[in-house]
Structure 1
Amino acid sequence: MPRVPFVPILTAPTAAGKSALAVDAAAALPAGRVEIVAADAFTVYRGLDLGTAKPTAAERRGVPHHLLDVVDVTEPYDVARFVAEAEATIGAVLARGNVPLVVGGTGFYLRALCRGLPTTPPADVLVRADVERDLAERGLDSLLAEIAAVDPAEERRMERNPRRVVRAVELLRRTGRLPGHYPLRPPAFAYDVIAYARPAADAEARIAARTLAMLRAGWPQEAAWLAATVDPDAAPHPTVWQALGYRDALAVHRGQLGREAAAERIALATRQYVKRQATFIRTQLGAPLDTPDGAARRLAAVLAALAGAV
Protein backbone atom coordinates (compact mmCIF):
# COMPACT_ATOMS: atom_id res chain seq x y z
CA MET A 1 0.00 0.00 0.00
CA PRO A 2 1.35 3.47 -0.81
CA ARG A 3 2.19 5.43 2.33
CA VAL A 4 1.62 9.10 3.07
CA PRO A 5 3.12 11.07 5.97
CA PHE A 6 -0.37 11.84 7.25
CA VAL A 7 -4.03 11.72 6.31
CA PRO A 8 -5.71 15.15 6.22
CA ILE A 9 -8.84 15.88 8.24
CA LEU A 10 -11.09 18.84 7.51
CA THR A 11 -13.37 19.80 10.38
CA ALA A 12 -15.44 22.78 11.45
CA PRO A 13 -18.58 23.40 13.49
CA THR A 14 -21.88 22.49 11.87
CA ALA A 15 -23.26 24.72 9.09
CA ALA A 16 -19.77 26.06 8.32
CA GLY A 17 -19.78 24.59 4.81
CA LYS A 18 -17.32 21.71 5.27
CA SER A 19 -18.72 19.57 2.48
CA ALA A 20 -18.62 22.34 -0.12
CA LEU A 21 -15.11 23.40 0.86
CA ALA A 22 -13.87 19.81 0.70
CA VAL A 23 -15.51 19.13 -2.66
CA ASP A 24 -14.09 22.35 -4.14
CA ALA A 25 -10.59 21.46 -2.96
CA ALA A 26 -10.87 17.89 -4.26
CA ALA A 27 -12.27 19.05 -7.61
CA ALA A 28 -9.14 21.14 -8.22
CA LEU A 29 -7.21 17.88 -8.73
CA PRO A 30 -7.81 15.31 -11.48
CA ALA A 31 -11.14 13.50 -11.12
CA GLY A 32 -11.12 10.72 -8.55
CA ARG A 33 -7.71 11.54 -7.10
CA VAL A 34 -9.24 12.65 -3.79
CA GLU A 35 -11.80 10.48 -2.01
CA ILE A 36 -13.76 11.83 0.96
CA VAL A 37 -14.31 9.75 4.10
CA ALA A 38 -17.23 11.17 6.09
CA ALA A 39 -16.89 11.46 9.87
CA ASP A 40 -20.42 12.18 11.00
CA ALA A 41 -22.47 10.22 13.52
CA PHE A 42 -25.76 10.71 11.65
CA THR A 43 -25.01 10.81 7.92
CA VAL A 44 -24.15 7.10 8.30
CA TYR A 45 -27.91 6.46 8.46
CA ARG A 46 -29.92 5.81 5.32
CA GLY A 47 -32.91 8.12 5.10
CA LEU A 48 -31.52 10.90 7.29
CA ASP A 49 -30.75 13.27 4.43
CA LEU A 50 -32.30 16.69 4.86
CA GLY A 51 -31.92 16.99 8.62
CA THR A 52 -28.25 15.98 8.53
CA ALA A 53 -27.38 18.19 5.54
CA LYS A 54 -25.91 15.12 3.88
CA PRO A 55 -23.71 15.90 0.83
CA THR A 56 -25.85 16.25 -2.27
CA ALA A 57 -26.00 13.80 -5.14
CA ALA A 58 -24.12 16.31 -7.31
CA GLU A 59 -21.32 16.60 -4.74
CA ARG A 60 -21.04 12.83 -4.51
CA ARG A 61 -20.94 12.41 -8.29
CA GLY A 62 -18.05 14.83 -8.60
CA VAL A 63 -15.95 13.39 -5.76
CA PRO A 64 -16.17 9.84 -4.34
CA HIS A 65 -17.64 9.78 -0.81
CA HIS A 66 -17.44 6.98 1.74
CA LEU A 67 -19.24 6.12 5.01
CA LEU A 68 -22.49 7.77 3.99
CA ASP A 69 -25.70 5.69 4.10
CA VAL A 70 -23.93 2.81 5.85
CA VAL A 71 -26.76 1.48 8.05
CA ASP A 72 -30.53 1.59 8.44
CA VAL A 73 -31.93 3.79 11.21
CA THR A 74 -32.96 0.66 13.13
CA GLU A 75 -29.35 -0.57 13.31
CA PRO A 76 -26.70 0.35 15.90
CA TYR A 77 -23.61 2.29 14.88
CA ASP A 78 -20.89 3.42 17.26
CA VAL A 79 -17.45 4.98 17.39
CA ALA A 80 -15.65 1.62 17.38
CA ARG A 81 -17.37 0.60 14.16
CA PHE A 82 -16.66 4.02 12.66
CA VAL A 83 -12.93 3.78 13.40
CA ALA A 84 -12.70 0.25 12.00
CA GLU A 85 -14.56 1.19 8.81
CA ALA A 86 -12.77 4.53 8.40
CA GLU A 87 -9.33 2.94 8.75
CA ALA A 88 -10.26 0.19 6.27
CA THR A 89 -11.60 2.79 3.83
CA ILE A 90 -8.49 4.98 4.14
CA GLY A 91 -6.31 1.96 3.47
CA ALA A 92 -8.35 1.05 0.39
CA VAL A 93 -8.15 4.61 -0.97
CA LEU A 94 -4.38 4.60 -0.56
CA ALA A 95 -4.16 1.19 -2.21
CA ARG A 96 -5.87 2.69 -5.26
CA GLY A 97 -3.19 5.37 -5.37
CA ASN A 98 -5.58 8.13 -4.32
CA VAL A 99 -5.66 10.63 -1.48
CA PRO A 100 -8.10 10.11 1.42
CA LEU A 101 -9.63 13.21 2.99
CA VAL A 102 -11.58 12.81 6.22
CA VAL A 103 -14.38 15.39 6.50
CA GLY A 104 -16.78 15.80 9.40
CA GLY A 105 -17.74 17.47 12.62
CA THR A 106 -18.41 14.60 15.03
CA GLY A 107 -15.66 15.32 17.49
CA PHE A 108 -15.50 12.03 19.38
CA TYR A 109 -15.28 10.14 16.06
CA LEU A 110 -12.34 12.30 15.00
CA ARG A 111 -10.65 12.05 18.39
CA ALA A 112 -10.89 8.26 18.34
CA LEU A 113 -9.54 8.18 14.79
CA CYS A 114 -6.55 10.38 15.71
CA ARG A 115 -5.74 8.97 19.13
CA GLY A 116 -7.03 5.42 18.93
CA LEU A 117 -9.85 3.60 20.69
CA PRO A 118 -9.83 2.61 24.37
CA THR A 119 -9.16 -1.09 24.88
CA THR A 120 -12.44 -1.56 26.71
CA PRO A 121 -14.03 -5.02 27.10
CA PRO A 122 -17.13 -5.96 25.10
CA ALA A 123 -20.52 -4.91 26.43
CA ASP A 124 -22.32 -7.06 29.00
CA VAL A 125 -25.95 -7.11 27.87
CA LEU A 126 -27.34 -7.93 31.33
CA VAL A 127 -25.50 -5.11 33.10
CA ARG A 128 -26.39 -2.75 30.26
CA ALA A 129 -30.06 -3.65 30.61
CA ASP A 130 -29.90 -2.72 34.30
CA VAL A 131 -28.27 0.62 33.46
CA GLU A 132 -30.85 1.36 30.77
CA ARG A 133 -33.60 0.60 33.29
CA ASP A 134 -32.01 3.06 35.72
CA LEU A 135 -31.83 5.66 32.95
CA ALA A 136 -35.55 5.28 32.27
CA GLU A 137 -36.52 5.37 35.95
CA ARG A 138 -34.01 7.82 37.48
CA GLY A 139 -32.93 9.95 34.51
CA LEU A 140 -29.67 10.92 32.86
CA ASP A 141 -28.46 13.21 35.65
CA SER A 142 -28.46 10.35 38.13
CA LEU A 143 -26.14 8.30 35.91
CA LEU A 144 -23.92 11.31 35.24
CA ALA A 145 -23.60 11.82 39.00
CA GLU A 146 -22.45 8.22 39.31
CA ILE A 147 -19.68 8.92 36.79
CA ALA A 148 -18.76 12.30 38.31
CA ALA A 149 -18.31 10.71 41.74
CA VAL A 150 -15.44 8.70 40.28
CA ASP A 151 -14.01 11.10 37.68
CA PRO A 152 -15.52 14.54 36.98
CA ALA A 153 -13.48 14.87 33.77
CA GLU A 154 -15.04 11.69 32.41
CA GLU A 155 -18.49 12.99 33.29
CA ARG A 156 -17.84 16.12 31.24
CA ARG A 157 -16.49 14.02 28.39
CA MET A 158 -19.86 12.25 28.09
CA GLU A 159 -21.38 15.51 26.72
CA ARG A 160 -24.76 14.32 28.09
CA ASN A 161 -24.94 11.70 25.35
CA PRO A 162 -27.27 9.00 26.81
CA ARG A 163 -25.74 6.19 24.80
CA ARG A 164 -22.21 7.04 25.91
CA VAL A 165 -23.37 7.50 29.50
CA VAL A 166 -25.01 4.07 29.56
CA ARG A 167 -21.84 2.45 28.23
CA ALA A 168 -19.67 4.28 30.76
CA VAL A 169 -21.84 3.31 33.72
CA GLU A 170 -22.03 -0.28 32.50
CA LEU A 171 -18.23 -0.43 32.48
CA LEU A 172 -17.95 1.32 35.82
CA ARG A 173 -20.29 -1.12 37.56
CA ARG A 174 -18.55 -4.13 36.07
CA THR A 175 -14.91 -3.12 36.31
CA GLY A 176 -14.66 -0.02 38.49
CA ARG A 177 -13.15 1.82 35.51
CA LEU A 178 -14.57 4.32 33.03
CA PRO A 179 -13.86 4.29 29.27
CA GLY A 180 -11.20 6.99 29.53
CA HIS A 181 -9.31 4.93 32.11
CA TYR A 182 -8.43 2.24 29.58
CA PRO A 183 -5.26 2.50 27.45
CA LEU A 184 -5.68 3.37 23.80
CA ARG A 185 -5.06 1.16 20.81
CA PRO A 186 -2.64 3.05 18.55
CA PRO A 187 -4.31 4.58 15.47
CA ALA A 188 -3.56 3.04 12.08
CA PHE A 189 -2.53 6.36 10.50
CA ALA A 190 -1.16 9.75 11.43
CA TYR A 191 -3.46 12.71 10.82
CA ASP A 192 -3.20 16.43 10.19
CA VAL A 193 -6.29 18.34 11.33
CA ILE A 194 -7.29 21.41 9.33
CA ALA A 195 -9.99 23.27 11.23
CA TYR A 196 -11.85 26.50 10.75
CA ALA A 197 -14.81 28.48 12.00
CA ARG A 198 -16.83 31.35 10.62
CA PRO A 199 -17.23 34.69 12.39
CA ALA A 200 -20.14 34.64 14.83
CA ALA A 201 -22.45 36.87 12.79
CA ASP A 202 -21.77 34.91 9.60
CA ALA A 203 -22.31 31.58 11.36
CA GLU A 204 -25.57 32.77 12.91
CA ALA A 205 -26.94 33.95 9.55
CA ARG A 206 -25.94 30.70 7.84
CA ILE A 207 -27.54 28.59 10.57
CA ALA A 208 -30.81 30.54 10.40
CA ALA A 209 -31.01 30.39 6.60
CA ARG A 210 -30.05 26.71 6.41
CA THR A 211 -32.50 25.65 9.12
CA LEU A 212 -35.45 27.36 7.49
CA ALA A 213 -34.49 26.01 4.06
CA MET A 214 -34.29 22.46 5.44
CA LEU A 215 -37.71 22.75 7.05
CA ARG A 216 -39.20 24.09 3.80
CA ALA A 217 -37.54 21.32 1.79
CA GLY A 218 -39.30 18.50 3.66
CA TRP A 219 -37.47 17.93 6.95
CA PRO A 220 -40.77 17.54 8.88
CA GLN A 221 -41.80 14.73 6.51
CA GLU A 222 -38.40 13.09 6.97
CA ALA A 223 -38.84 13.29 10.75
CA ALA A 224 -42.31 11.74 10.44
CA TRP A 225 -40.85 8.85 8.44
CA LEU A 226 -38.21 8.39 11.13
CA ALA A 227 -40.87 8.38 13.88
CA ALA A 228 -42.82 5.72 11.98
CA THR A 229 -39.66 3.61 11.76
CA VAL A 230 -38.07 4.21 15.19
CA ASP A 231 -40.15 5.16 18.24
CA PRO A 232 -38.82 8.54 19.43
CA ASP A 233 -40.09 7.84 22.95
CA ALA A 234 -38.38 4.48 23.42
CA ALA A 235 -36.06 4.09 26.42
CA PRO A 236 -33.19 4.55 26.31
CA HIS A 237 -33.51 7.25 23.67
CA PRO A 238 -32.66 5.78 20.25
CA THR A 239 -29.39 7.08 18.82
CA VAL A 240 -31.02 8.45 15.68
CA TRP A 241 -33.28 10.70 17.76
CA GLN A 242 -30.24 12.40 19.24
CA ALA A 243 -29.73 14.09 15.87
CA LEU A 244 -30.14 17.84 16.23
CA GLY A 245 -33.54 19.25 15.32
CA TYR A 246 -35.47 16.10 14.43
CA ARG A 247 -37.87 16.32 17.37
CA ASP A 248 -38.75 19.91 16.49
CA ALA A 249 -39.18 18.96 12.83
CA LEU A 250 -41.51 16.16 13.94
CA ALA A 251 -43.50 18.66 16.01
CA VAL A 252 -43.98 20.75 12.86
CA HIS A 253 -45.31 17.72 10.99
CA ARG A 254 -47.73 16.95 13.81
CA GLY A 255 -48.99 20.53 13.91
CA GLN A 256 -47.62 21.07 17.42
CA LEU A 257 -45.15 23.76 16.36
CA GLY A 258 -45.09 26.33 13.59
CA ARG A 259 -42.31 26.22 11.02
CA GLU A 260 -40.85 29.60 11.94
CA ALA A 261 -40.97 28.81 15.67
CA ALA A 262 -39.28 25.48 15.02
CA ALA A 263 -36.63 27.20 12.94
CA GLU A 264 -35.85 29.55 15.83
CA ARG A 265 -35.60 26.69 18.34
CA ILE A 266 -33.40 24.57 16.08
CA ALA A 267 -31.19 27.53 15.21
CA LEU A 268 -30.67 28.31 18.91
CA ALA A 269 -29.75 24.70 19.69
CA THR A 270 -27.44 24.68 16.68
CA ARG A 271 -25.64 27.84 17.81
CA GLN A 272 -25.11 26.30 21.23
CA TYR A 273 -23.80 23.12 19.63
CA VAL A 274 -21.46 25.13 17.39
CA LYS A 275 -19.84 26.67 20.47
CA ARG A 276 -19.28 23.24 22.00
CA GLN A 277 -17.83 21.94 18.74
CA ALA A 278 -15.39 24.84 18.50
CA THR A 279 -14.21 24.21 22.05
CA PHE A 280 -13.82 20.50 21.37
CA ILE A 281 -11.80 21.09 18.21
CA ARG A 282 -9.39 23.37 20.05
CA THR A 283 -9.05 21.38 23.27
CA GLN A 284 -9.57 17.74 22.26
CA LEU A 285 -8.19 17.74 18.72
CA GLY A 286 -5.55 20.37 19.43
CA ALA A 287 -6.34 22.25 16.23
CA PRO A 288 -6.44 26.05 15.95
CA LEU A 289 -9.47 27.44 14.17
CA ASP A 290 -8.49 29.13 10.92
CA THR A 291 -10.68 31.31 8.70
CA PRO A 292 -12.57 29.56 5.87
CA ASP A 293 -10.24 31.09 3.28
CA GLY A 294 -7.16 30.13 5.26
CA ALA A 295 -8.37 26.57 5.67
CA ALA A 296 -9.20 26.34 1.96
CA ARG A 297 -5.71 27.48 0.99
CA ARG A 298 -4.03 25.09 3.39
CA LEU A 299 -6.21 22.17 2.32
CA ALA A 300 -5.51 22.82 -1.37
CA ALA A 301 -1.76 22.82 -0.72
CA VAL A 302 -1.93 19.65 1.38
CA LEU A 303 -3.99 17.73 -1.18
CA ALA A 304 -1.72 18.78 -4.04
CA ALA A 305 1.37 17.67 -2.11
CA LEU A 306 -0.15 14.33 -1.12
CA ALA A 307 -1.38 13.67 -4.66
CA GLY A 308 2.24 13.85 -5.77
CA ALA A 309 3.28 11.40 -3.05
CA VAL A 310 0.91 8.50 -3.73
Structure 2
Amino acid sequence: MPEAVATRLIAPTGPGIAEAAALLRSGALVAFPTETVYGLGGDARSDLAVARIFAAKGRPRFNPLIVHLPDLAAAAAVAHFSPEAERLAAAFWPGPLTLVLPLREGAGLSPLVTAGNESVAIRVPAHPVAQALLRAFGGPLAAPSANPSGKVSPTRAAHVLAGLAGRVAAVVDGGPCAVGLESSIVALDPPRLLRPGGLPLEAIEACLGGPLASDPDPARPLAPGQLASHYAPAAALRLDAQAPVAGEVWIGFGAPVSGGALTLSASGDLVEAAANLFHALREADALAGPKGRIAVSPIPEKGLGRAINDRLRRAAAPR
Protein backbone atom coordinates (compact mmCIF):
# COMPACT_ATOMS: atom_id res chain seq x y z
CA MET A 1 0.00 0.00 0.00
CA PRO A 2 1.31 3.49 -0.82
CA GLU A 3 1.85 5.90 2.04
CA ALA A 4 -1.38 7.71 2.94
CA VAL A 5 -1.78 11.33 1.82
CA ALA A 6 -4.43 13.94 2.53
CA THR A 7 -6.65 13.92 -0.56
CA ARG A 8 -7.97 17.39 -1.48
CA LEU A 9 -11.20 18.05 -3.39
CA ILE A 10 -10.53 20.81 -5.92
CA ALA A 11 -13.11 22.97 -7.70
CA PRO A 12 -12.84 23.13 -11.53
CA THR A 13 -12.03 26.85 -11.50
CA GLY A 14 -9.00 28.65 -12.89
CA PRO A 15 -7.14 28.58 -9.56
CA GLY A 16 -8.23 24.99 -8.98
CA ILE A 17 -6.93 23.85 -12.38
CA ALA A 18 -3.63 25.69 -11.73
CA GLU A 19 -3.32 23.93 -8.37
CA ALA A 20 -4.01 20.53 -9.93
CA ALA A 21 -1.46 21.15 -12.70
CA ALA A 22 1.17 22.13 -10.14
CA LEU A 23 0.53 18.92 -8.21
CA LEU A 24 0.95 16.89 -11.41
CA ARG A 25 4.21 18.67 -12.22
CA SER A 26 5.49 17.70 -8.76
CA GLY A 27 4.88 14.01 -9.53
CA ALA A 28 1.67 13.72 -7.50
CA LEU A 29 -1.52 12.04 -8.69
CA VAL A 30 -4.70 13.99 -9.47
CA ALA A 31 -8.04 12.47 -10.44
CA PHE A 32 -10.06 14.47 -12.96
CA PRO A 33 -13.29 14.13 -14.93
CA THR A 34 -13.55 13.13 -18.56
CA GLU A 35 -16.75 12.62 -20.53
CA THR A 36 -16.35 8.84 -20.01
CA VAL A 37 -15.23 8.24 -16.39
CA TYR A 38 -12.91 9.96 -13.92
CA GLY A 39 -9.24 9.37 -14.73
CA LEU A 40 -6.34 9.01 -12.31
CA GLY A 41 -3.79 11.37 -13.80
CA GLY A 42 -0.01 11.27 -13.50
CA ASP A 43 2.83 12.65 -15.62
CA ALA A 44 3.25 10.07 -18.39
CA ARG A 45 6.92 11.04 -18.77
CA SER A 46 7.78 10.26 -15.13
CA ASP A 47 8.60 6.71 -14.03
CA LEU A 48 7.84 7.71 -10.44
CA ALA A 49 4.45 9.26 -11.21
CA VAL A 50 3.39 6.27 -13.35
CA ALA A 51 4.59 3.83 -10.69
CA ARG A 52 2.44 5.74 -8.20
CA ILE A 53 -0.61 5.17 -10.44
CA PHE A 54 -0.04 1.41 -10.38
CA ALA A 55 0.51 1.46 -6.61
CA ALA A 56 -2.58 3.59 -5.89
CA LYS A 57 -4.83 1.35 -7.98
CA GLY A 58 -3.19 -1.96 -7.08
CA ARG A 59 -2.98 -2.46 -10.85
CA PRO A 60 -1.01 -5.25 -12.59
CA ARG A 61 2.15 -3.82 -14.19
CA PHE A 62 1.51 -5.71 -17.46
CA ASN A 63 -1.71 -3.75 -18.01
CA PRO A 64 -0.92 -0.63 -20.13
CA LEU A 65 -2.28 2.86 -19.50
CA ILE A 66 -4.05 5.35 -21.77
CA VAL A 67 -2.18 8.60 -22.42
CA HIS A 68 -4.40 11.69 -22.54
CA LEU A 69 -3.43 14.62 -24.75
CA PRO A 70 -5.16 17.91 -25.60
CA ASP A 71 -5.23 17.63 -29.40
CA LEU A 72 -4.14 15.70 -32.50
CA ALA A 73 -0.89 17.65 -32.86
CA ALA A 74 0.20 16.61 -29.37
CA ALA A 75 -0.85 13.01 -30.06
CA ALA A 76 1.12 12.91 -33.32
CA ALA A 77 4.28 13.77 -31.36
CA VAL A 78 3.82 10.56 -29.37
CA ALA A 79 2.54 8.04 -31.96
CA HIS A 80 2.64 7.31 -35.68
CA PHE A 81 -0.72 7.93 -37.40
CA SER A 82 -1.78 5.93 -40.44
CA PRO A 83 -4.38 7.40 -42.81
CA GLU A 84 -7.05 5.30 -41.07
CA ALA A 85 -5.97 6.62 -37.68
CA GLU A 86 -6.07 10.19 -38.97
CA ARG A 87 -9.59 9.59 -40.31
CA LEU A 88 -10.81 8.28 -36.94
CA ALA A 89 -9.14 11.13 -35.05
CA ALA A 90 -10.68 13.72 -37.35
CA ALA A 91 -14.14 12.20 -36.91
CA PHE A 92 -14.18 11.44 -33.18
CA TRP A 93 -11.58 13.53 -31.35
CA PRO A 94 -12.03 15.05 -28.92
CA GLY A 95 -14.27 12.28 -27.65
CA PRO A 96 -14.62 8.77 -26.19
CA LEU A 97 -12.24 6.98 -28.59
CA THR A 98 -8.78 5.59 -27.75
CA LEU A 99 -6.41 4.60 -30.54
CA VAL A 100 -3.59 2.08 -30.09
CA LEU A 101 -0.82 3.18 -32.44
CA PRO A 102 2.92 2.58 -32.95
CA LEU A 103 4.96 4.48 -30.39
CA ARG A 104 7.30 7.13 -31.79
CA GLU A 105 10.96 6.72 -30.97
CA GLY A 106 11.95 9.46 -28.56
CA ALA A 107 8.33 10.11 -27.49
CA GLY A 108 9.60 10.57 -23.96
CA LEU A 109 6.98 8.42 -22.23
CA SER A 110 7.82 6.24 -19.27
CA PRO A 111 8.13 2.60 -20.44
CA LEU A 112 5.75 1.70 -17.61
CA VAL A 113 2.95 3.38 -19.58
CA THR A 114 3.11 0.92 -22.48
CA ALA A 115 3.86 -2.15 -20.31
CA GLY A 116 6.65 -3.11 -22.69
CA ASN A 117 4.55 -2.92 -25.87
CA GLU A 118 5.80 -1.09 -28.96
CA SER A 119 2.43 0.63 -29.20
CA VAL A 120 0.75 3.28 -27.10
CA ALA A 121 -2.92 3.89 -26.29
CA ILE A 122 -3.82 7.57 -26.71
CA ARG A 123 -6.96 9.67 -26.38
CA VAL A 124 -8.03 13.31 -26.70
CA PRO A 125 -10.84 13.82 -24.16
CA ALA A 126 -13.72 16.23 -24.80
CA HIS A 127 -14.54 17.21 -21.21
CA PRO A 128 -13.76 20.92 -20.71
CA VAL A 129 -12.15 20.29 -17.30
CA ALA A 130 -9.90 17.58 -18.75
CA GLN A 131 -8.97 19.89 -21.62
CA ALA A 132 -8.20 22.76 -19.26
CA LEU A 133 -6.04 20.55 -17.04
CA LEU A 134 -4.10 19.06 -19.97
CA ARG A 135 -3.33 22.51 -21.34
CA ALA A 136 -2.38 23.90 -17.92
CA PHE A 137 -0.14 20.90 -17.25
CA GLY A 138 1.47 21.13 -20.68
CA GLY A 139 2.29 17.47 -21.21
CA PRO A 140 0.89 13.95 -21.60
CA LEU A 141 -1.08 12.48 -18.71
CA ALA A 142 -1.33 8.77 -18.09
CA ALA A 143 -4.84 8.33 -16.73
CA PRO A 144 -6.57 5.00 -16.14
CA SER A 145 -9.93 5.02 -14.40
CA ALA A 146 -9.67 6.47 -10.88
CA ASN A 147 -10.66 3.39 -8.87
CA PRO A 148 -8.98 0.37 -7.29
CA SER A 149 -8.01 -2.09 -10.03
CA GLY A 150 -10.80 -4.39 -11.11
CA LYS A 151 -13.52 -2.52 -9.22
CA VAL A 152 -16.44 -0.43 -10.49
CA SER A 153 -15.30 2.63 -12.47
CA PRO A 154 -16.00 6.12 -11.06
CA THR A 155 -18.38 8.55 -12.74
CA ARG A 156 -18.54 11.08 -9.87
CA ALA A 157 -15.95 12.64 -7.59
CA ALA A 158 -17.53 10.88 -4.61
CA HIS A 159 -16.85 7.52 -6.29
CA VAL A 160 -13.16 8.41 -6.58
CA LEU A 161 -12.94 9.40 -2.94
CA ALA A 162 -14.71 6.19 -1.87
CA GLY A 163 -11.99 4.09 -3.49
CA LEU A 164 -8.82 6.20 -3.51
CA ALA A 165 -9.01 8.74 -0.66
CA GLY A 166 -5.62 8.77 1.02
CA ARG A 167 -3.89 7.39 -2.09
CA VAL A 168 -4.05 10.45 -4.37
CA ALA A 169 -3.21 14.10 -3.83
CA ALA A 170 -6.42 15.59 -5.19
CA VAL A 171 -9.68 15.08 -7.06
CA VAL A 172 -10.98 17.78 -9.41
CA ASP A 173 -14.76 17.70 -9.04
CA GLY A 174 -16.35 18.22 -12.44
CA GLY A 175 -19.71 16.65 -11.62
CA PRO A 176 -21.16 13.42 -13.11
CA CYS A 177 -19.62 12.08 -16.33
CA ALA A 178 -21.95 12.42 -19.31
CA VAL A 179 -21.04 9.21 -21.19
CA GLY A 180 -20.43 7.01 -18.16
CA LEU A 181 -18.56 4.21 -19.98
CA GLU A 182 -14.85 4.09 -20.71
CA SER A 183 -13.67 4.95 -24.20
CA SER A 184 -13.89 2.54 -27.09
CA ILE A 185 -10.39 1.25 -27.93
CA VAL A 186 -9.37 0.55 -31.53
CA ALA A 187 -6.08 -0.81 -32.87
CA LEU A 188 -5.21 -0.56 -36.55
CA ASP A 189 -3.26 -2.49 -39.21
CA PRO A 190 -5.62 -4.34 -39.33
CA PRO A 191 -8.53 -2.45 -37.69
CA ARG A 192 -9.80 -4.31 -34.62
CA LEU A 193 -11.84 -3.51 -31.56
CA LEU A 194 -9.91 -4.06 -28.32
CA ARG A 195 -12.64 -2.72 -26.02
CA PRO A 196 -16.20 -1.60 -26.76
CA GLY A 197 -17.00 1.68 -25.05
CA GLY A 198 -18.61 5.09 -25.21
CA LEU A 199 -18.42 5.34 -29.01
CA PRO A 200 -20.74 2.82 -30.71
CA LEU A 201 -19.13 0.18 -32.94
CA GLU A 202 -21.45 1.14 -35.78
CA ALA A 203 -20.07 4.70 -35.88
CA ILE A 204 -16.46 3.48 -35.98
CA GLU A 205 -17.17 0.98 -38.76
CA ALA A 206 -19.05 3.60 -40.78
CA CYS A 207 -16.05 5.92 -40.56
CA LEU A 208 -13.62 3.20 -41.65
CA GLY A 209 -15.92 1.80 -44.32
CA GLY A 210 -15.65 -1.77 -43.10
CA PRO A 211 -16.05 -4.12 -40.15
CA LEU A 212 -13.79 -4.23 -37.11
CA ALA A 213 -12.40 -7.54 -35.95
CA SER A 214 -12.55 -8.42 -32.26
CA ASP A 215 -9.13 -9.05 -30.76
CA PRO A 216 -9.22 -9.52 -26.98
CA ASP A 217 -6.08 -11.04 -25.47
CA PRO A 218 -6.29 -11.04 -21.66
CA ALA A 219 -2.87 -12.68 -21.36
CA ARG A 220 -1.11 -9.84 -23.17
CA PRO A 221 -3.33 -6.76 -23.24
CA LEU A 222 -2.48 -3.89 -25.58
CA ALA A 223 -4.89 -1.57 -23.76
CA PRO A 224 -6.88 -1.32 -20.53
CA GLY A 225 -10.16 -3.16 -19.93
CA GLN A 226 -9.16 -6.46 -21.57
CA LEU A 227 -8.79 -8.49 -18.38
CA ALA A 228 -11.47 -11.15 -18.04
CA SER A 229 -12.54 -10.00 -14.57
CA HIS A 230 -12.96 -6.25 -14.25
CA TYR A 231 -15.39 -3.51 -13.11
CA ALA A 232 -16.47 -5.84 -10.29
CA PRO A 233 -18.72 -4.99 -7.32
CA ALA A 234 -18.34 -7.03 -4.13
CA ALA A 235 -21.73 -8.73 -4.63
CA ALA A 236 -22.18 -11.48 -7.21
CA LEU A 237 -23.97 -10.60 -10.46
CA ARG A 238 -26.61 -12.57 -12.36
CA LEU A 239 -27.02 -11.26 -15.90
CA ASP A 240 -29.89 -11.42 -18.41
CA ALA A 241 -32.31 -11.87 -15.53
CA GLN A 242 -35.98 -11.64 -16.45
CA ALA A 243 -36.94 -10.88 -12.83
CA PRO A 244 -35.25 -10.86 -9.43
CA VAL A 245 -35.50 -13.78 -7.03
CA ALA A 246 -35.69 -13.52 -3.25
CA GLY A 247 -32.68 -11.77 -1.76
CA GLU A 248 -31.44 -10.19 -5.01
CA VAL A 249 -31.09 -6.48 -5.69
CA TRP A 250 -32.60 -5.73 -9.08
CA ILE A 251 -31.19 -3.43 -11.75
CA GLY A 252 -33.80 -3.07 -14.49
CA PHE A 253 -33.80 -1.74 -18.03
CA GLY A 254 -36.87 -0.55 -19.89
CA ALA A 255 -40.28 -0.70 -18.25
CA PRO A 256 -39.96 -0.79 -14.44
CA VAL A 257 -40.31 -4.27 -12.95
CA SER A 258 -42.48 -4.83 -9.89
CA GLY A 259 -40.34 -4.54 -6.77
CA GLY A 260 -37.37 -3.17 -8.72
CA ALA A 261 -35.44 -0.54 -6.77
CA LEU A 262 -32.98 0.52 -9.49
CA THR A 263 -33.08 0.97 -13.26
CA LEU A 264 -30.50 1.88 -15.86
CA SER A 265 -33.20 3.54 -17.96
CA ALA A 266 -36.92 3.24 -17.41
CA SER A 267 -37.48 4.29 -21.03
CA GLY A 268 -35.01 1.78 -22.49
CA ASP A 269 -32.56 4.47 -23.65
CA LEU A 270 -29.07 2.96 -24.09
CA VAL A 271 -27.33 6.34 -23.81
CA GLU A 272 -29.01 6.95 -20.44
CA ALA A 273 -28.24 3.37 -19.40
CA ALA A 274 -24.55 3.79 -20.21
CA ALA A 275 -24.34 6.99 -18.18
CA ASN A 276 -26.06 5.31 -15.21
CA LEU A 277 -24.33 1.89 -15.29
CA PHE A 278 -21.46 2.30 -12.86
CA HIS A 279 -23.41 4.42 -10.39
CA ALA A 280 -26.23 1.85 -10.42
CA LEU A 281 -23.74 -0.98 -9.79
CA ARG A 282 -22.35 0.93 -6.82
CA GLU A 283 -25.83 1.57 -5.41
CA ALA A 284 -26.86 -2.07 -5.88
CA ASP A 285 -23.61 -3.25 -4.28
CA ALA A 286 -24.28 -1.10 -1.21
CA LEU A 287 -27.82 -2.50 -0.93
CA ALA A 288 -26.75 -6.13 -1.47
CA GLY A 289 -23.69 -6.21 0.77
CA PRO A 290 -20.50 -8.19 0.05
CA LYS A 291 -22.23 -11.58 0.30
CA GLY A 292 -25.37 -10.52 -1.56
CA ARG A 293 -26.47 -10.88 -5.16
CA ILE A 294 -27.42 -8.45 -7.90
CA ALA A 295 -29.68 -9.34 -10.83
CA VAL A 296 -29.48 -7.30 -14.04
CA SER A 297 -32.14 -7.12 -16.72
CA PRO A 298 -31.19 -8.08 -20.31
CA ILE A 299 -29.57 -5.26 -22.33
CA PRO A 300 -29.87 -5.20 -26.15
CA GLU A 301 -26.62 -6.17 -27.89
CA LYS A 302 -26.53 -3.14 -30.16
CA GLY A 303 -25.07 0.38 -30.08
CA LEU A 304 -23.87 1.27 -26.59
CA GLY A 305 -25.53 -1.92 -25.38
CA ARG A 306 -22.46 -3.83 -26.58
CA ALA A 307 -20.22 -1.84 -24.24
CA ILE A 308 -22.70 -2.09 -21.36
CA ASN A 309 -22.87 -5.88 -21.76
CA ASP A 310 -19.07 -6.09 -22.02
CA ARG A 311 -18.72 -4.32 -18.65
CA LEU A 312 -21.43 -6.47 -17.07
CA ARG A 313 -19.86 -9.74 -18.30
CA ARG A 314 -16.48 -8.74 -16.91
CA ALA A 315 -18.08 -7.62 -13.64
CA ALA A 316 -19.78 -11.03 -13.35
CA ALA A 317 -16.70 -13.08 -14.29
CA PRO A 318 -15.02 -15.40 -11.74
CA ARG A 319 -12.49 -13.47 -9.64
TM-score by length of 2: 0.30
Query: Highest relative contact order (Cα 8 Å, sep 6+), 1 or 2?
Result: 1
Tell which structure's C-alpha radius of gyration is larger: 1
